[in-house]
Amino acid sequence: MDRRTEILRRAAEIFARKGVSNTSVEDIANAIGVKREAIYYYFRSRIDILLEILLPTSRTLLNSMRLICRTDLTNREKLKAALESHLSEYTPGYIEMTVAFREEHFFADTEKASELSETWDEYGKLWTDIIIDGQEAGEFNADLDPKMISFAILGMCNWMSRWYNPSKDVSIEEIINTFFTMSMDGVSTLPKEQPAMKNPDAA
Amino acid sequence: MDRRTEILRRAAEIFARKGVSNTSVEDIANAIGVKREAIYYYFRSRIDILLEILLPTSRTLLNSMRLICRTDLTNREKLKAALESHLSEYTPGYIEMTVAFREEHFFADTEKASELSETWDEYGKLWTDIIIDGQEAGEFNADLDPKMISFAILGMCNWMSRWYNPSKDVSIEEIINTFFTMSMDGVSTLPKEQPAMKNPDAA
């Protein structure tokens, strides 16, 4: 593992454990056993390191989502695939890192920071598109606001980094199945009221 | 409005807008038009101010949840009431503030910080209890892990502070209804598979 990769890995661990705002470049240097200057040789700042951690995962998620949207799966199946893709990229401390990024972004108007914001925007939009397409195809309840639904599902998933403990909790697969059942059918044992259809012929 | 209250209100606005980690006691003082010392007369630090902002809302939510759990409502109705209570306390920048609190909490092991953690723990537990009771009463799908479900619903709600814009988006009431429908029946137009029952006689 080269020094650059080592810095990114150790920084990600420390960010997840004690929060970005409590981590200095010096802390990262100490954890690796080098001087601060050795970190500055590769990165300009803590936010630069954070960007390098968040960008690859975010790009991977967006690319995977673009592919999912271009398949011939039903929208129900696309949503399952989207959940699988999103949760298999689970990262501890993800919320903490995205919050720190948003906060520090005010002061780091670089090209990479814009790329990250744009990646997240397009990613959210593709989730909403699946809901809209599913409503038009009669697969999903057309009474519900599609943006609210896609953000509800993403919120469900992203909140995981606040309670999920990979070492003692259940498997990611079980979480995917639970969130999918919940998104599709909810928790109630009562039959659904007949949901609204945009296009009843398609159902 | 007394000076103390004024500090708390302005600090909450600034925290929500630019993030706790980018806000200094000096920023808060400047926004009010006083010297830093005037802030330190009331609060020991930024985290002290943050605690005073988060504690009252958290206590209100917990008390309201305790009452909901002691009513004779069905568990379905309790969940609706819990959603109403949680979302009516909507605060912009809530996630940012809770993340900042968790990060800085490492360094602020005060009585108030412990009270906030305990309040959040008990609050989450009461949500899970409603799911467990509902599963035992045959109201909710007993196949699903109750903790995962309660955290999914709380995640859905808490993520709101990342996308909801009170000035141009829909009403909180519409969000409550959407999240309730989603939690109870999901988005799919297909009939549910027969969910598992812990206690089929109760249904």
- What is the pLDDT confidence band of residue A195, given thresholds at 50, 70 and 90? low
Q: Is A56:A9 a contact under the CB 8 Å cutoff?
A: no
Q: Which of A86, A188, A193 to mutate to test the interface with B (most CBs of B within 10 A)?
A: A188
* Low-confidence residues in chain B, pLDDT < 70: 104-109, 195, 199-203
Using the predicted structure, report yes or no on whether residue A100 has a pLDDT greater than 80.
Answer: no
A191 and B192 in contact by Cβ < 8 A?
Answer: yes
A5: Cβ–Cβ under 8 A, 6 or more apart, which residues? none
Same structural domain for residues A39 and A50? Answer: no
Count CB neighbours of B16 within 10 A. 18
| Nearest beta carbon to residue B175 from set A148, A154, A156 | A148
Report how far residue A9's alpha carbon sits from residue B148's, in angstroms, rounded to the nearest whole number. Answer: 29
Same structural domain for residues A78 and A4? Answer: no
When pLDDT is averaged across residues A120-146 and rounded to a whole number, the result is: 96
Measured between beta carbons, the chain B residues lying within 8 angstroms of A47 are none
Same structural domain for residues A132 and A175? Answer: yes
Using the predicted structure, report yes or no on whether residue A13 has a pLDDT greater than 70.
Answer: yes
Phi, psi of A181 (to 5 degrees): -60, -45
pLDDT for position A99: 78
Q: Is B85:B73 a contact under the CB 8 Å cutoff?
A: no
Which chain A residue is nearest to residue B154, measuring alpha carbons?
Answer: A156
Question: What six digits make up the tokens of A44?
Answer: 């300009």
A155 and B151 in contact by Cβ < 8 A?
Answer: no
pLDDT for position A146: 96
| Nearest beta carbon to residue A189 from set B181, B187, B195 | B195
> Mean pLDDT across chain A, nearest whole number?
89
B189 and A155 in contact by Cβ < 8 A?
Answer: no
Q: Which long-range contacts (CB under 8 A, 24 or more apart) does A38-43 make?
A: A38/A3, A39/A7, A42/A3, A42/A4, A42/A7, A43/A7
- Residue A202 touches partner B, C-beta closer than 8 Å: no
- Distance between A139 CA and the closest CA of chain B, angstroms: 5
Which chain B residue is nearest to residue A140, measuring alpha carbons?
Answer: B188
CATH number, domain containing residue B24 = 1.10.10.60
Count CB neighbours of B125 within 10 A. 12
pLDDT for position A148: 95
Number of domains in chain A: 2
Q: Is A69:A129 a contact under the CB 8 Å cutoff?
A: yes
Range 160-199 of B in CB contact (< 8 A) with A: 160, 162-163, 170, 174-175, 178-179, 181-193, 195, 197
Same structural domain for residues A4 and A74? Answer: no
Q: Which domain holds residue B120?
A: 47-202
Same structural domain for residues A117 and A187? Answer: yes
Using the predicted structure, report yes or no on whether residue A193 has a pLDDT greater than 70.
Answer: yes
Same structural domain for residues B118 and B24? Answer: no
A145 and B193 in contact by Cβ < 8 A?
Answer: no
B187 and A149 in contact by Cβ < 8 A?
Answer: yes
pLDDT for position A97: 79
ipTM of predicted assembly, 2 dp: 0.88
Same structural domain for residues B30 and B60? Answer: no
Same structural domain for residues B39 and B114? Answer: no
First to last CA, chain B: 53
Q: Which of B187, B190, B193, B199 to mutate to test the interface with A (most CBs of A within 10 A)?
A: B187
Measured between beta carbons, the chain A residues lying within 8 angstroms of B198 are none
pLDDT for position B33: 93
CATH number, domain containing residue B60 = 1.10.357.10
Which chain A residue is nearest to residue B124, measuring alpha carbons?
Answer: A163
Higher pLDDT, B98 or A68: A68
Using the predicted structure, report yes or no on whether residue A202 has a pLDDT greater than 80.
Answer: no
Q: Within chain B, what is the greatest distance between any pair of CA atoms?
A: 67
Same structural domain for residues A176 and A165? Answer: yes
A99 and B99 in contact by Cβ < 8 A?
Answer: yes
- Distance between A18 CA and the closest CA of chain B, angstroms: 6
The b-or-e profile of A91-105 (16+ CB within 10 A means b, else e) is: bbbbbbbbbbbbbbb
DSSP-assigned beta bridge partners for residue A15: none
pLDDT for position A170: 84
Same structural domain for residues B119 and B34? Answer: no
- Residue B159 touches partner A, C-beta closer than 8 Å: yes
Using the predicted structure, report yes or no on whether residue A14 has a pLDDT greater than 70.
Answer: yes
Same structural domain for residues B77 and B2? Answer: no
Report how far residue B187's alpha carbon sits from residue B156's, in angstroms, rounded to the nearest whole number. Answer: 14
What are the pLDDT digits (tens) for A157-184?
999 888 888 787 788 999 999 999 999 9
Same structural domain for residues A11 and A109? Answer: no
pTM of the model: 0.90
B141 and A96 in contact by Cβ < 8 A?
Answer: no
Measured between beta carbons, the chain A residues lying within 8 angstroms of B190 are 76, 139, 184
B22 and A103 in contact by Cβ < 8 A?
Answer: yes
Which chain B residue is nearest to residue A18, measuring alpha carbons?
Answer: B103
